[in-house]
Amino acid sequence: MMRVRKHFTIWQTDQLAAYLTRMAHQGQRLTNVSRFHTYTFTSVQPLPGTVQVDFRADTIDDEYVNLMTDAGWQLLATRQFGFSNWSYWYHPNPDAKIYSDQSSTLEFLKRIRRRWAGFAVFDILFVLFMLRLLGAGEQDVFTKTFVIVACICVVLILVLCVYTFARLSKEIRELVQLM
C-alpha cells in the first residue's frame, strides 16, 4: 500500500485523472481518497486503461453505480467533500471518457460551479449572522473574539469560494467558445 499527498484544485479534474491514469499504468491502483488530498494505492499489474473523476451533488447511489458499471467502468474510490461526492472510475479502454463531448463536460463543470455558489451563499449568510450577533447587545471579550475570528475564517473560505467560482466560470467560457 502506498499513500501519496497531492493537491489538485476542483477545476483540475483532467490533471487529476491523468495523474491517476499514470499511476495505474505504473501498477498502482487507487483504492481510497481521504482528507487532505491523500491518495491510497495498492500494487497491481500495470493497468492499460484510464481513470476518470466524476462529481455528484447528490449521493452516489446504486442506480448511478450500476449505470457506470454497465458502461464498463469500475468504481475505484469515492470521496465526500462538504455536501458533494466525488467518484473515481477505471475503464480498461484507454480512450474511454465519462464526459465524451463538450456539452456533457460543460454540464459537469456547471454542476460543480453551482455547488460552490451554494457554499458562497451559505458563507455570506453565516458572516451576516455573526456580524449581527456581534452588534446585538453586550458580550464578553471571549465571545467578541470568537465571533471576530469565526468571521475572518469564514471570509477566507468565502474568498476561496469566489475564486473557485471564477476559475470554473473561466473554464466554462473557454469550453463554450470551442463549441
Q: What are the domain boundaries of the chain?
A: 2-91, 102-178
Strand 50-56 to 84-91 pairing: antiparallel
Three-class DSSP category at 26: coil
Helices (H), 29-140: 62-70, 102-135
> Could you list the mean pLDDT of each consecutive 10-residue stretch along the chain, which spans 179 residues?
88 91 96 89 96 84 90 92 83 92 86 81 81 71 80 83 86 85
**Residue 91 pLDDT:** 97
**Residue 132 pLDDT:** 77
Count of other CB atoms within 10 angstroms of residue 43: 10
Cα-only R_g, the chain = 20
pTM: 0.77
Sole residue written with cell 463549441: 179
**Residue 105 pLDDT:** 86
> How far apart are the two ends of the chain, measured CA to CA in Å?
43
| Alpha-carbon span 140 to 126, nearest angstrom | 21
**Residue 82 pLDDT:** 66
